[in-house]
Amino acid sequence: MYAASNPVFKIAKGQSTSQAMGKPSMKKHTLTLLHHISLLAALASVAINALAGTVVIYAAADLQVVGPLIADFEQAHPEIKVVYHDLQSTDLNDRFLDEIGNSSKADIVWSSAMDLQMKLVNDGHAKPYRSAETSALPSWAKWRDEAFGTTFEPVCFAYNRQLLAPGAIPQTHAELVRVLQEQPERFRNRLVTYDPQRSGLGYLLHTQDLEANPVVFWNLIQVMAQAGLSTEPTTTQMLDRISNGKSVLGYNVLCSYTSSRASTDTRIGSVMPRDYTLVMSRIAFISRYAPHPDEARIWLDFMLSKRGQAIFNQIGLHSVRTDVEDVASAETLRKQLGNAFRPIVLNTGLLTYIDQSKRELFLSHWDTVLKAGRDIPVKDSPATSQPVRRKPL
């Protein structure tokens, strides 16, 4: 392109180079030619560098689910290549911390483990950023212009449609306890939930359940342990078990992944509990040590833009922006759930169970309940307790 517009390289057919350039001396011609070749090389280098932009994303979000978002971003920004690392939430957190400083590789840290994300941000590992797109977010979906909620995903009961009839699916947490008590053999060794030891998201959801209603939560875990409870580190692995019949019901499963799987697997079904449905948001932040900060800002703006949020709606992760209308938007979900709508708020309250002593206490009690299994007597009465209501956003 440069050569075509530079008169030095416009040579008419049948005309020599010296004629075209006014017959300068060979030495002068050579120096001029070398000068322009050098200039062309420099411009080519700039062009190559401009096209070699990269944004490195550490994410706890399945690539098969968010693939459409990445594809659309690269179409909108062909000058930037997305390097996506699909990691389990706890591994993501540990890897980011191990690489802090000169060895940092991540530009964007994006995870469903909201508490771990808030801990990283609160400890000073995020780069503040303001833009028209971050300003368009609801106040609850951002914190100190450093942490940004990007999705709105309810947590549900997932089940195998071929093994459980619709009328047999519990509709509340207390009803799940009752069904397990009344029909233990039906669910014997065929229940699954997150392993809070191996999954940051699993730990978050279980501790949020504990906050919602501690009596019902521990009673439920106890009854599931008696029936025979399996634990997995990811939603995908839980859905695999439900799909192949190893488990008939999954507890605290992400509806976004369940809906995505159900679109191609008719064996998968889900129910959002009517007493309360937790709703989590994947938190993103720009690393303070980002090797490509400009590209990171472009990616974050794209995620939070109307275009990006519309894609989240399409893939079932729900938009957090109130000005993006869709059947899968947060506002639609809020209306659908009514009083059962229980969002996990983006604030420092998420740090409560990150405290080491509280974490050890929770996991110790979890292990005790699981190991005791059938030997622990079940008390029926607490299951009828009403969940504690949180203030609406």
Check the CA dihedral 114-117-119-121 and report its sign. Answer: negative
Nearest Cα to Cα of residue 256 among 191, 330, 170:
330
Q: Which phi and psi (to 5°) does residue 254 adopt?
A: -70, 125
Please tell me the pTM assigned to this model: 0.74
Nearest Cα to Cα of residue 85 among 73, 76, 95, 72:
95
Across 173-187, 292-306, 309-323, which has the greatest mean pLDDT? 292-306
Class of domain 51-152+281-337 as given by CATH: alpha beta
pLDDT bin (cut points 50, 70, 90) of residue 300 is very high
Fold (CATH) for 153-280+355-384 = D-Maltodextrin-Binding Protein; domain 2 (3.40.190)
Q: DSSP string covering 9-39, please? A: G---TT--HHHHTT---HHHHHHHHHHHHHH
Among the ranges given (26-40, 102-116, 133-147), the one the predictor scored with the smallest mean pLDDT:
26-40
Across 221-225, 260-264, 310-314, which has the greatest mean pLDDT? 221-225
Which residues lie below 8 Å from residue 302, measured CB to CB, with a gap of 6+?
Answer: 73, 76, 77, 308
380, pLDDT greater than 70 = no
Q: Do domains 51-152+281-337 and 153-280+355-384 have the same CATH topology?
A: yes
The residues facing 154 across adjacent strands are: 279
pLDDT of residue 6: 34
Q: What is the pLDDT of residues 215-227, one digit of tens each?
A: 889 999 999 999 9
pLDDT of residue 376: 52
- Determine the number of helices (DSSP H) and then strands (DSSP E) in the chain: 16, 13
Q: What is the pLDDT of residues 80-98, one digit of tens each?
A: 999 999 998 889 999 999 9
pLDDT bin (cut points 50, 70, 90) of residue 363 is very high
**Where do the structural domains in the chain lie, given as residue ranges?**
51-152+281-337, 153-280+355-384
